[in-house]
């Protein structure tokens, strides 16, 4: 019986650091131990693996005639609103199956404002919001204070700090102008949600998807009262926050929000939905991560699995099983 050849596409953080990119610019990229852990799980199930790397390396390999039965894709990309969609789009062109969501979903969900529009249309609670595309949009914002501002298309808490919580019109203008200049992209401004914060882990696709666990992000006493889950916090989470399993009722409420968003947006195989409660204790959708980090120790999705006693191997098995259900006979493209 033929053993499936699994290509691995990813952005390795150390490669970009060597090229002169900063720690924050490369925050979403993977560490070597993530790739090693994924390979170990795939080898355990009898797959043969081939490390491909980032999008430019994939282009070179495809041009050379290389092909794979399936690609395990965790490449985040570096430039543009469609950066996460680039590798899946290339693989679609060559009819090569891959893990996780398709180009449409990855491009859409990277834009937090457009994602919230769809989530709201589905009927899922999410904070009132507006998107600031340029300085001229700031004075027209008609949302009650306090507000929260962040870049519209970043992950891993990039662009989020204690200043993201805005208490005055002067702060609003200053923060928006700073984010517009620094990140060269629109700014999402939304009503601040003062309640508890959670992230839900999901596996599967469409009606086969399920929530495998919900964890609460709890700030330690050394943290200030604003409790901002920022880039700095995520980079130093062991000193600043701890994670716990919330009450059964809260798990059910958050699971419902997460699953409705996951299925409504068309996400596949595995990922996370971030949730925060409003002043009335109602769980609100914050954002979805359909290309969630998979470091077995430091990434939120594997941390959720650890809290619920789910081995890392089982998580990777579930992702692969979901992706393999979509496989069609591979056609050679020249």
| CATH number of the domain within which 136 lies | 3.30.1490.20
CA distance 30 to 43: 19
In CATH, what number is assigned to the domain containing residue 310? 3.30.470.20
Residue-range definition of the domain harbouring residue 95: 5-100
Q: Are residues 187 and 237 in the same domain?
A: no
Assigned domain for 110 exists: no
CA distance 156 to 231: 6
Q: Are residues 250 and 297 in the same domain?
A: yes
The helix (run of H) or strand (run of E) holding residue 323 is: helix 312-324
CA distance 247 to 47: 39
Pick the closest to residue 185 from 80, 302, 333, 101 (CA basis): 80
Q: Are residues 169 and 281 in the same domain?
A: no
Query: What is the Cα gyration radius of the chain?
Result: 20
How confident is the model over 270-293, as pLDDT tens digits?
Answer: 999 999 999 999 999 999 999 999
Residue 6, burial from CB neighbour count under 10 angstroms (0-12, 13-18, 19+): buried
Q: Are residues 185 and 234 in the same domain?
A: no
Domain boundary among 139, 163, 191: 191
**Cα atoms in the 13 Å half-sphere on the side-chain side of 267:** 32
How confident is the model over 73-127, as pLDDT tens digits?
Answer: 999 998 889 999 999 999 999 999 999 999 999 999 999 999 999 999 999 999 9
Q: Are residues 74 and 178 in the same domain?
A: no
Q: Are residues 182 and 209 in the same domain?
A: no
How confident is the model over 46-77, as pLDDT tens digits?
Answer: 999 999 999 999 999 999 999 999 999 999 99
In CATH, what number is assigned to the domain containing residue 66? 3.40.50.20
Q: How many domains does the chain have?
A: 3
pTM (2 d.p.): 0.92
187: which residues sit within 8 A by CB, 6+ positions away?
131, 132, 149, 150, 151, 152, 175, 176, 179, 180
Q: Report yes or no: 270 and 100 within 8 Å, Cβ to Cβ.
A: yes
pLDDT for 139 beyond 70: yes
């Amino acid at each position: 019986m033929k053993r499936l050849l699994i290509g691995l596409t990813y952005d390795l953080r150390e490669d970009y650091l060597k090229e002169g990119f900063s720690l924050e610019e490369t925050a979403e990229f993977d560490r070597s131990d993530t790739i090693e852990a994924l390979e170990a799980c795939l080898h355990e199930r009898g797959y043969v693996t081939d490390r491909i790397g980032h999008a430019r390396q994939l282009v070179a390999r495809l041009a050379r005639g290389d092909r794979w039965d399936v690609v395990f894709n965790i490449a985040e990309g570096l430039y543009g609103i469609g950066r996460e969609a680039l590798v899946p789009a290339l693989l679609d062109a060559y009819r090569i199956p891959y893990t996780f969501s398709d180009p449409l979903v990855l491009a859409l969900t990277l834009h937090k404002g457009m994602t919230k529009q769809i989530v709201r249309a589905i009927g899922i609670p999410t904070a009132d919001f507006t998107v600031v595309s340029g300085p001229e949009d700031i004075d027209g914002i008609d949302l009650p204070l306090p507000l929260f501002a962040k870049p519209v298309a970043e992950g891993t808490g990039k662009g989020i700090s204690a200043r993201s919580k805005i208490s005055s019109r002067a702060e609003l203008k200053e923060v928006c102008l700073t984010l517009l200049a620094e990140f060269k992209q629109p700014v999402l401004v939304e009503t601040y949600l003062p309640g508890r914060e959670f992230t839900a882990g999901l596996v599967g696709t469409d009606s086969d998807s399920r929530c495998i666990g919900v964890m609460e992000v709890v700030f330690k006493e050394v943290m200030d009262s604003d409790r901002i889950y920022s880039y700095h916090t995520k980079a130093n989470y062991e000193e600043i926050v701890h994670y716990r399993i919330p009450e059964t009722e809260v798990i059910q409420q958050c699971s419902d929000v997460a699953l409705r968003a996951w299925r409504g947006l068309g996400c596949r195989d595995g990922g996370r939905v971030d949730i925060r409660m409003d002043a009335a204790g109602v769980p609100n959708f914050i954002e979805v991560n359909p290309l969630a980090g998979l470091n077995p120790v430091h990434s939120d999705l594997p941390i959720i699995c650890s809290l619920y006693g789910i081995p890392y191997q089982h998580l990777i098995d579930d992702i692969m099983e979901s992706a393999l259900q979509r496989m069609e006979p591979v056609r050679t493209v020249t």
